[in-house]
Each structure stands twice: as structure tokens, then as C-alpha cells.
């Protein structure tokens, strides 16, 4: 645990030693504001909630999170510092967790910095802050799932560009599988049980319930399991490279 904490601090500090974290947070805050006020019509809806803000999170994360994650292992492998890292008294699991937690906390910080939106809706009306809190938790969990996919893809490739593209494609499939367009397209020739199974794999399906304030155990568990599976995939990829 101490090694994970040390690596977490190292990786978290490295995000702010370069423009990566600042650029990510700035873009996230700007796009969140644009989508909430101009696309989601936060004022025009006449309701004191943050649903327009949270509705766009899966699509924001689809590109922003892979862009953050692509450097985690690809940069280490390309620069050769991964060999140095592996000579230190740390395991691949500890390195993987340290990198993941550092990036996940940057994502959490980005979400916390959207508090002016929360202040705005509380000034304009009397929103259910319990629902808003549940939506924030759901968004952070979903961001973790996106991040785990991105880290796995980064572990598979030396190229950050390739890692980014692979992560976007995989995450897009996980988001799209629960969209109305896909479900309607398959509705005519897939039995209901298979249609429900397809939707159950979607990040979108599980997050939409959380965005409405329902923190169900199966939705929370889904994201935690998805994080674990993809991080394990990245772990296996790094272990394979070590064995070569």
C-alpha cells in the first residue's frame, strides 16, 4: 500500500508538472459550461437541476479521458523509463494502481471544480442535492471506467496516438451499445433478453440511472467491475512485455 501511495503522489504531481492536467481541466470546464447552458438550455428548461450538465458527460469523457490516459504507459515504454520503473522495488500491480488513482483523482478534481454550476442551480431554485450528489458519484465512477479502458490501451501500445484511437473506439462501443439508436436498430430481430443484455454492457445505461439520483448496487458494481477488468487487462499486457 505504501508503494501505491508513493507512486500515486509521483504520478499526480507529474500531471501538474506539465500542462496536461491544466489543459484537461480547462477544456472540461469550458465544454461543461457550453453544453449545459447553450446546448442543454439549463436556464430555458425552468427546472433547478443539473441533468443537462450530466447528460453530456459520457460524450465529454469519450474523447477527453482517452487523451489523458494515452500517456500513462505509452510514454513510459517509448522513453524507456518503464525498464527503470520495473527495477524499483514495486510490482506491476502497484504501478498500475498508482497511475490509475492519480489520473482518477485529477478527474475527480475536474468534477469538483464544476461547483459553480451547483451554486447556480441552488441560487435559482431548490434542487434535490441528494440527486446531484448521486450524479456526481456516478460520473466519477464512469470516468474511472473510461480511464481504465484508456490505461489498458496505453499498456498495449508504444504510440500514444494508437492508444488514444483504440481507447476512443472501445469506449464508443460501450457507450453506443445502450443508446436508443442502437437498441431500436436491433429491436426488430433480437429477442428482448439479448437486447437487455446488450444494453447492460453500456456505460450510458448505468450512468443514466445514477444521473437521476438512483445509486443502485448493480450500477455501482458494474463500473467497479469494469475498472477492475480493464486494469487487469493492462496489468497482463505489461507483464507480457516484461517477459519478452
For residue 222, give every residue at least 6 positions away whose Cβ sits within 8 Å of its Cβ, in sequence order, or none.
Answer: 200, 206
Reported as a pLDDT band with limits 50, 70 and 90, residue 80 is low
For residue 116, give every residue at least 6 positions away whose Cβ sits within 8 Å of its Cβ, in sequence order, or none.
Answer: none
Question: Residue 193: pLDDT above 70?
Answer: yes
C-alpha 217/C-alpha 220 separation (Å) is: 5
Going by the DSSP 8-state scheme, the letter that residue 189 receives in this structure is T
pLDDT for 238: 86
Which tens digits make up the pLDDT trace of 109-156? 999 999 988 888 888 778 888 889 999 999 999 999 999 999 999 988
pLDDT for 84: 66
* CA 20-151-166 angle, 5° bins: 95
Average pLDDT of the chain?
A: 85
Question: Residue 186: pLDDT above 80?
Answer: no
Locus of grid cell 522513453: 79
C-alpha 83/C-alpha 101 separation (Å) is: 21
How confident is the model over 7-11, as a mean pLDDT?
88
Domain residue limits, the chain: 2-243
Amino acid at each position: 500500500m505504501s508503494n501505491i501511495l508513493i507512486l500515486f503522489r509521483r504520478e499526480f504531481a507529474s500531471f501538474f508538472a506539465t500542462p496536461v492536467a491544466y489543459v484537461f481541466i480547462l477544456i472540461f470546464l469550458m465544454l461543461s459550461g457550453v453544453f449545459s447552458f447553450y446546448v442543454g438550455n439549463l436556464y430555458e428548461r425552468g427546472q433547478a437541476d443539473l441533468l443537462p450538465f450530466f447528460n453530456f458527460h459520457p460524450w465529454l469523457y469519450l474523447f477527453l479521458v482517452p487523451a489523458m490516459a494515452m500517456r500513462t504507459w505509452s510514454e513510459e515504454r517509448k522513453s524507456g523509463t518503464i525498464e527503470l520503473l520495473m527495477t524499483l522495488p514495486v510490482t506491476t500491480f502497484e504501478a498500475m494502481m498508482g497511475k490509475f488513482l492519480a489520473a482518477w483523482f485529477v478527474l475527480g478534481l475536474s468534477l469538483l471544480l464544476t461547483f459553480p454550476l451547483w451554486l447556480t442551480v441552488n441560487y435559482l431554485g431548490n434542487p434535490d442535492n441528494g440527486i446531484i450528489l448521486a450524479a456526481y458519484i456516478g460520473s466519477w465512477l464512469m470516468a474511472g471506467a473510461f480511464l481504465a479502458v484508456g490505461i489498458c490501451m496505453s499498456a498495449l501500445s508504444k504510440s500514444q496516438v494508437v492508444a488514444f484511437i483504440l481507447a476512443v473506439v472501445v469506449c464508443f462501443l460501450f457507450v453506443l451499445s445502450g443508446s436508443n439508436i442502437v437498441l431500436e436498430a436491433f429491436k426488430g430481430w433480437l429477442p428482448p433478453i439479448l437486447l437487455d443484455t446488450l444494453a447492460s454492457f453500456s456505460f450510458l445505461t448505468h450512468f443514466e440511472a445514477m444521473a437521476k439520483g438512483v445509486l443502485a448496487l448493480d450500477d455501482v458494481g458494474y463500473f467497479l467491475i469494469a475498472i477492475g477488468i480493464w486494469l487487469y487487462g493492462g496489468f497482463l499486457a505489461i507483464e507480457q512485455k516484461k517477459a519478452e
